[in-house]
Structure 1
Amino acid sequence: MNGSGEAPLDLFVVGGGINGAGIACDATGRALKVGLCEMHDFASHTSSASTKLIHGGLRYLEHYEFRLVREALQEREVLLAKAPHLSFPLRFVLPHEQHLRPRWMLRLGLFLYDHLDWHMTLPKSISVDLPSSKFGAGLKPSFKNGFVYSDAWVDDARLVIANLMSARGMGARIFARHRCVSARRTADGKLWDIELSAPDGSAVKLQARGLVNATGPWVKHFLDEQTSIRTNKRVRLIKGSHIVVPRLYDGDHAFILQNKDGRIVFIIPYERSFSVIGTTDIPVDSSDKKPVCTQEEIDYLCEIASYYMTKPVRPADVVWTYSGVRPLFDDGDDNPSAVTRDYHLEIDGAVGTAPLLSVFGGKITTYRRLAEHALRDLAPYYPHMGVEWTAGRALAGGELADAPTFEQAFDNFVNSAAVVKPGLPKELLRVLIRRHGVAIDDLLEEVKTVADLGQHFGGHLYEVEVRYLVRDEWAVEAEDVLWRRTKEGLHMTQAEREHFARWLAELRPNFA
């Protein structure tokens, strides 16, 4: 028994990013008693600093990672169906540059991309004459030929929250802002004694029959410091930075741009009136310091975008930057761009003892498959574990009615909401549904008009939603709300953001 007299959990997950959240959700749905802790806010590190894409990884084909690309392509449509409110298909435009990758190579790569997943329903790739096509909007007229292919966008931080809410709804215990300070096997090796440090500094002691180390960039550090278990596996820490600028062009398409250094940079429509540009690949030695986008990275991304786009992108145009450290499984490649985006799972402990599963690497697109793989590896330790289930069930908020396309399912729900809530602007409903899906029924239960939404903080952020985020989605700090649960910080002035931070600080004690 643990210190509180409760029976041991079946599985305890350390790490509240996408991999930890996905494993906790999957395990809980298999009738395991699950707990999860995160030392900071959920998705506050790597899992909110991605390029926001569900994609197969077209450029990974150059490194012959066919299994990874096939798995990612298959997952693309699974995730679109699981979370149609948090994700949507995108068409990507690849302008051809003769002196970089040759045309035949791009054609071959896109053919493979279209056919590695035989069940693909998104539109296949096409060649386009850019000056005469809508897909040329935004590009300099000197770019004549290109290709267009399909991938998808996702709200990465909210995808983490949706997995955690699904897990909690099935009975998982979620410990926000609790740092795991120690995890040791009991003398007989049958259980893990786990100690957490709560936000107020108090100790929380638990026991579990199994432990998952999903700490991302800290995976090796956690093994060394919290468990004293050794491994020769490593991760390469690669910083990726993005810049956000006012919208560069009309149209819903995104761009994938080739640079002379061999790297790929994306320009993607973002948050209604912006474009996000990224990412960089900078090796770093430690994840201890909060990563920041340097002036050199800003200049690099602006230079690439300006080379291609009609509208020049200058450092002064940048309204926000974000950076994250990607923990890539160390396969020994010296080129950061070529280091595998595949994942590696390692289990410590023979059957009959309490297992420890550690996650090395991974990418947001394949998080669900990674979780299935993790539970498959843990199955010998849990004979009563349920079967795989996550491929065909929606995440919390994603239970939209079926429609011929993912976009139609979303639009149909928005139209229905507009009928039910005629006193609210349809654009506001669309934004809220993009964040919460069917959960807006709870969020807006007592709301009939804009006046019922309470204080307006700027952008599309109102008091009713903030109280919901604090009550139901573990939000504590202003940053949690403005930059992760929503991105409304982009649509607010500095004065509005400061006012909101003060208001939230006064609100928090009421939720203690």
Structure 2
Amino acid sequence: MAVMQTGFDCDVLIVGGGINGAGIARDAAGRGLSVLLCEQDDLAAHTSSASTKLIHGGLRYLEYYQFNLVRKSLIEREVLLRSAPHIMWPLRFVMPHARGQRPAWLIRAGLFLYDVLARRELLPGSRGVDLTTHPAGKPLKGEYARGFVYSDGWVDDARLVVLNAIAAREHGATILTRTTCTAVRREPAQGGAPAHWRATLRGQNGAERTVRAALLVNAAGPWTAAFLHGAAPQAQGKTLRLIKGSHIVVRRLFEHDHAYIFQHPDGRIVFVIPYETEFTLIGTTDLDYTGDPAQVAIDSTEIAYLCELSSYYFRQPIVPDDVVWSYSGVRPLVEDAAADAKAVTRDYRFELDRDGAPLLSIFGGKITTFRKLAEEAVDLLAPLLDNRHGAWTAAACLPGGDLFGEKPQNRAVLGFNEYVHDLQRQYGWLPARLVQRYARAYGTRIHVLLAGKTALAQMGEEIASGLYAVEVNYLREQEWAVSARDILWRRSKLGLHLPAATEARLDAWLAAHPLAS
């Protein structure tokens, strides 16, 4: 852990291992603060692995006049792409135009604004497209003869969280997964010791530890309001509106590499995205949610809605039986009294309670703006600990993203295939397709994964097709993976490609091969 500013167990205790918590941990630790992050489940176990997996400005937010949010997101879009080009990349979106929708001139105006709100170095601008000749028009019904193409980006959301946690650890932070903060209380200043927080942390095995922290960050996602009430019952802060978003995955619907943005007659938006080479991702829904966020799941009505909207555009109908996988998450958005769930702001808000030891609660946010959120949060907290380090993450790569040098650069985004080809030559003893997967998942950390290996026989048991013991142990030792679900569905999406029985087989293997303590 980094050098402490306070004399307590840590300067900053963060509750929540989603993208906001991990991002704040990275930023704070990089400024020299001692950080401890606890997460009750796995990293990105809930909302942060259940997104539409886009790094985007939020084109539809222009409709609600959220220009500041869109501009902030557009600026971050290219910052993020440069920081982790192995898990993020540019993506072109096709918007078919149909009668009854907004007039074409209005869409062109919106896309022009989207293009110019922030400087672009990596992403081409928008343009009109003839869908009768463009490859993206082939899967669509004949009535969609014209449309528009614009740029945004794609991200492996769960890996983004893990990379932030790795970066935090590399700067000295302690990351405790499957560790619940069961109680917190403020301790007043006394005997020369300043006010601080005393927290009880309970591990999965029931063992408890007490931690004293100068500052507490509540980044509990859907549980933020409940945690705030427990930590500071007198607080009268912002409230959350929980919005359920569900996605379905079907077999690949088209051969080209563009994504689609479809508009329902009711105004809602659905994205249809190439996914994991062999599949297509469709989502999302926007529904108010009142249940336990840990138990959220897609229902038949949502599946039917996503199938029907896709079928409204595609020549080949999509039916519920086509769905091979689905996932749902609860987005904790700032309550802004919007009548319609889709109109609720995706911007973030802070609540800083300084009635004693400081408590910062994070409300709302979206993956695209996580780095800026973290930077602003630590800008608030660092001066309270007399830390003047200043912001740093905008000019830093995430772990594995330093493909052609330490600093983020456009070449890493535009020349990723060049990097992959170099790796395939370097590791010619591995199947080229496996090296490509490793490059996408781990970037330059492939060299940590394969350290000392020079032959396929040194990769250990092939537990499932393309999944070797070396990788499994790397994920356990370096990325906090514990279960088959962590490995097959969050650290990777191998669960989509392997037989259904693989999860049980891998769990049995993990139990039979415990890591040395």
TM-score where L is the length of structure 2: 0.95
1:245 corresponds in structure 2 to 250
Q: Deviations over 1:139-163 (max 9, x none)?
A: 2222100000000000000000000
Q: C-alpha displacement at 1:119, in angstroms? A: 3.9
Structure 2 CA distance for aligned equivalents of residues 483 and 130 of structure 1: 35
Structure 2 CA distance for aligned equivalents of residues 511 and 280 of structure 1: 44
Match of 1:214 among 214, 219, 237: 219
Supply the AA of the counterpart residue of 1:98. Answer: R
Change (3 A) 1:227 1:183: farther
Q: Deviations over 1:370-415 (max 9, x none)?
A: 0111112223312223110000100111111167544443212211
CA contact (8 A) 1:75 1:366 kept: yes
Q: C-alpha displacement at 1:295, in angstroms? A: 1.1
Structure 2 CA distance for aligned equivalents of residues 169 and 457 of structure 1: 30
Could you say what secondary structure the match of 1:210 adopts?
strand
2:473 corresponds in structure 1 to 467
CA contact (8 A) 1:14 1:20 kept: yes
CA contact (8 A) 2:16 2:38 kept: yes
2:3 corresponds in structure 1 to none
List alignment gaps of at least 5 residues for structure 1: 1-5
Q: C-alpha displacement at 1:334, in angstroms? A: 1.2
Supply the AA of the counterpart residue of 1:39. Answer: Q
Match of 2:353 among 348, 351, 357: 348
Match of 1:308 among 304, 309, 313: 313
Q: Deviations over 1:6-64 (max 9, x none)?
A: 84311111100000000010001111111100000000000000000000000000000
Match status 1:416 vs 2:422? yes
Matches within 5 A, 1:365-376: 365-376=368-379
1:359 corresponds in structure 2 to 362
Segment drifting more, 96-105 vs 295-304: 96-105
Structure 2 CA distance for aligned equivalents of residues 404 and 51 of structure 1: 24
Match status 1:490 vs 2:496? yes
2:115 corresponds in structure 1 to 114
Could you say what secondary structure the match of 1:91 adopts?
strand
Q: C-alpha displacement at 1:120, in angstroms? A: 4.4
Q: Deviations over 1:218-276 (max 9, x none)?
A: 01100112443422410100110000111100011000000111100001011121000
1:400 corresponds in structure 2 to 403
Segment drifting more, 445-454 vs 174-183: 445-454
CA contact (8 A) 2:46 2:294 kept: no
1:277 corresponds in structure 2 to 282
Match of 1:225 among 208, 221, 230: 230
Structure 1 CA distance for aligned equivalents of residues 144 and 461 of structure 2: 48
Structure 2 CA distance for aligned equivalents of residues 172 and 379 of structure 1: 15
Q: Aligned residues, how many?
A: 505
RMSD, matched Cα? 1.6
Structure 2 CA distance for aligned equivalents of residues 304 and 81 of structure 1: 34
CA contact (8 A) 1:32 1:385 kept: no
TM-score where L is the length of structure 1: 0.96
CA contact (8 A) 2:245 2:330 kept: yes
List alignment gaps of at least 5 residues for structure 2: 1-6
Supply the AA of the counterpart residue of 1:123. Answer: P
2:484 corresponds in structure 1 to 478
Structure 2 CA distance for aligned equivalents of residues 496 and 41 of structure 1: 20
Match of 2:202 among 180, 197, 211: 197
Structure 1 CA distance for aligned equivalents of residues 107 and 117 of structure 2: 15
Q: Deviations over 1:94-116 (max 9, x none)?
A: 00022022212211110110000
Structure 2 CA distance for aligned equivalents of residues 414 and 427 of structure 1: 10
Supply the AA of the counterpart residue of 1:419. Answer: R
CA contact (8 A) 1:401 1:409 kept: no
Q: C-alpha displacement at 1:450, in angstroms? A: 3.2
Structure 1 CA distance for aligned equivalents of residues 410 and 14 of structure 2: 37
Supply the AA of the counterpart residue of 1:105. Answer: L
Q: C-alpha displacement at 1:511, in angstroms? A: 4.3
Structure 2 CA distance for aligned equivalents of residues 411 and 488 of structure 1: 21
2:4 corresponds in structure 1 to none
Match status 1:255 vs 2:278? no
Could you say what secondary structure the match of 1:10 adopts?
strand
